[in-house]
Amino acid sequence: MADFKTHVSVGAATGFAVAIVTYNWNLIPNAYMAVIVFFATTIGSFLPDMDSNSGLPVKIIFSVYAYFMAAMSLFWMHTAGAGLSLKIFVPVACFFFTIKFLKEIFVKYTSHRGIFHSIPAYIMSFLLPLFIASTTRLNVREQFVIAFAVSTGYLCHLILDEFWSVKAFSDGISKGKTIKIKNIFGKNSLKKSFGTALDLGFNQPEKYPGVICWITVLVFAIITRPTWLELITLIGSGK
């Protein structure tokens, strides 16, 4: 499979392209939004490797999430009128609880190239950001652009992993060898990892997460239904 550096490089290039296209098509209002789209795509490009137990992606993601939880808990304490001691203790506790306890649970119960490398996980990479974006002040068009950006980066990761499962591509790119067509379709041209990044979630090391993931997809499809209907109405009105 492609390494982290390759995934981020391809994700950043894809993010730049998505930002330019959405800005030129007036799907986003300004250059500031284009920057957000760029980073959303880039972040999406390494999300599938969250299940890499010792990998950089999970460290980055849980670090960001820990700071986010600390900030949110501080906001909740301030809103509730809590004292100074609680304003200090609760955010610090939330930070360490997230980065130590939750991260360890996640690492323990996931395996690399597991459910995060699957089609239902890719669909969730669109639905979950769409749900989160729908709770903000972004208009419906911008909500879909953000969700599309994250899922596009996610899909690029999965496709790149499948390309890397073809020996001619992985050897040609990583080792600087010439890529020959006959080697792509030749005997023993595919690695054992081929097909494990874009399956339906049932051929993974974990079995039950595939079912759970599809149920989650259905739940979030229902939850985001009002947003879909709003977009359809917007398109129908020609705006």
The answer to whether residue 126 scores a pLDDT higher than 90 is yes
pLDDT digits (tens, 9 = 90+) for 206-217: 556 778 889 999
Q: How far is CA 176 from CA 95, 179, 188, 223, in A?
A: 43, 9, 20, 47
Which has the closest alpha carbon to 207: 111, 106, 85?
111
pLDDT band at residue 65 under the 50/70/90 scheme: confident
Confidence at residue 181, expressed as pLDDT on a 0 to 100 scale? 47
CB atoms inside a 10 Å sphere around CB 6: 16
Confidence at residue 143, expressed as pLDDT on a 0 to 100 scale? 93
Pairwise CA distance, residues 33 & 30, whole Å = 6
The answer to whether residue 185 scores a pLDDT higher than 60 is no
Confidence at residue 6, expressed as pLDDT on a 0 to 100 scale? 76
Pairwise CA distance, residues 57 & 209, whole Å = 20
Confidence at residue 179, expressed as pLDDT on a 0 to 100 scale? 47
- Apex 93 CA angle, 92 and 94, nearest 5: 90
